């Protein structure tokens, strides 16, 4: 029988709880390895799932390759696991490939589904979907968020067993630099993905560009709906070409073949043509809607559930008015 280790760092966010629930469907012995500042408090959200081992202390509160890999290695040894599952957080995505190498194991990243020990993932810029399994152990799997339901605690108590790890390191974090210049616009947990396309920066029916108004309408909607902001490639590429741009957008907002594949329940695209390389990033959006002046745009060709053929400036003006009224 396989021993399955689920690696989580504190605080345990939704992708971690989804990974835990996915691990429970595999059968086998389940051990949870927690690292971070306060594992006892975090353990409450996973109470009843299985034996909990923890590595804590100041050195493990900070994301850092050397300490994260050392903690994961100690948890691997203590659990004697053959399968290791972890959510695809930046922390685990950085630390686990190196550990898999050290442990003479194998790792698969960007896992989008698990059917027993057969995983599904995408290759070639999300054009080819593959199912595969491996015989080598230990086998590490990094699971994408949205892989399934999240675990809910089934017990009141969550006892932890502490594992001590040497935390000697030469790397000290000095601070955090975020590429977002203004407020946080990427919100993976939001119910709505709002996509802005290059049309927002194009000449409108009066022959002029209305960038300030576009920025005001988009930010207004984000504020009143708490939506996550996505973008087409054309719009984020404009800054590199020296054109007028929306300052709160970066390549991190880009959705599509060479961008991200977010998983919000609903999506609304505005001033975006709906070309295949963009829409391929909408694969996991369940309800897709678009606003475009062009009745023959890409969205009209089976890519959207609903296409509103309208001026997005006018639609958004009215939408923001309705949302603001509803909130007051």
Ligand X SMILES: Cc1cc2nc3c(=O)[nH]c(=O)nc-3n(C[C@H](O)[C@H](O)[C@H](O)COP(=O)(O)OP(=O)(O)OC[C@H]3O[C@@H](n4cnc5c(N)ncnc54)[C@H](O)[C@@H]3O)c2cc1C
Binding site for ligand X (CB under 6 A): 197-199, 202, 204, 232-235, 254-259, 271-273, 275, 277-278, 281, 291-294, 297, 311-313
In terms of CB distance, is 177 or 295 closer to ligand X?
295
In terms of CB distance, is 139 or 200 closer to ligand X?
200
In terms of CB distance, is 102 or 202 closer to ligand X?
202
CB 194 within 8 A of CB 89: no
Least distance in Å: CB of 201 to ligand X? 9
Least distance in Å: CB of 319 to ligand X? 13
CB 160 within 8 A of CB 51: no
Helix 65-79 and helix 90-102, axial crossing angle in degrees, nearest 10 = 60
In terms of CB distance, is 136 or 276 closer to ligand X?
276
Query: How many CA atoms within 13 Å lie on the side-chain side of 283?
Result: 16
In terms of CB distance, is 136 or 294 closer to ligand X?
294
CB 136 within 8 A of CB 107: no
Least distance in Å: CB of 258 to ligand X? 4
In terms of CB distance, is 112 or 231 closer to ligand X?
231
Least distance in Å: CB of 144 to ligand X? 17
Helix 312-327 and helix 211-225, axial crossing angle in degrees, nearest 10 = 40
CB 246 within 8 A of CB 235: yes
CB 56 within 8 A of CB 36: yes
Least distance in Å: CB of 237 to ligand X? 8
Residue with tokens 């000697």: 168
Q: How many helices (H) and strands (E) does the chain have?
A: 8, 15
CB 125 within 8 A of CB 56: no
Instruction: Give the Cβ contact number of residue 232 at 10 Å.
Output: 29
Least distance in Å: CB of 273 to ligand X? 3
Residue with tokens 């970066």: 250
């Amino acid at each position: 029988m396989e021993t399955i280790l689920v690696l989580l760092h504190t605080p345990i966010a939704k992708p971690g709880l989804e990974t835990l629930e996915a691990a429970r469907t595999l059968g086998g012995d389940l051990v949870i390895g927690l690292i971070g500042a306060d594992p006892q408090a975090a353990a409450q959200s996973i109470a009843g799932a299985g034996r909990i081992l923890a590595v804590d202390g100041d050195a493990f509160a900070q994301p850092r390759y050397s300490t994260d890999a050392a903690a994961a290695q100690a948890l691997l040894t203590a659990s004697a696991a053959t399968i290791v599952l972890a959510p695809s957080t930046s922390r685990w995505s950085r630390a686990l490939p190196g550990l898999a190498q050290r442990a003479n194991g194998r790792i698969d990243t960007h896992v989008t589904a698990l059917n027993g020990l057969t995983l599904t993932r995408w290759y070639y810029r999300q054009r080819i979907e593959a199912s595969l399994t491996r015989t080598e152990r230990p086998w590490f799997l990094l699971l994408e968020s949205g892989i399934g339901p999240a675990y809910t605690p089934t017990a009141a108590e969550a006892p932890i067993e502490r594992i001590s790890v040497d935390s000697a390191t030469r790397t000290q974090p000095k601070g955090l630099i975020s590429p977002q210049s203004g407020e946080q616009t990427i919100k993976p947990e939001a119910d709505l993905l709002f996509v802005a396309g290059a049309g927002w920066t194009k000449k409108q029916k009066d022959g002029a560009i209305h960038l300030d108004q576009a920025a005001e309408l988009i930010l207004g909607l984000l504020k009143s709906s708490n939506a996550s902001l996505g973008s087409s490639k054309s719009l984020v590429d404009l800054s590199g070409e020296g054109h007028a741009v929306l300052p709160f957008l970066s390549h991190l907002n880009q959705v599509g073949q060479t961008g991200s594949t977010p998983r919000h329940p609903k999506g609304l695209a505005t001033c975006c043509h709906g070309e295949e390389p963009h829409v391929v990033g909408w694969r996991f959006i369940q309800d897709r809607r678009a606003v475009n002046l062009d009745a023959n745009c890409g969205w009209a060709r089976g890519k959207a559930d609903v296409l509103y053929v309208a001026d997005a400036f006018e639609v958004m003006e009215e939408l923001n008015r309705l949302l603001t009224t509803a909130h007051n």
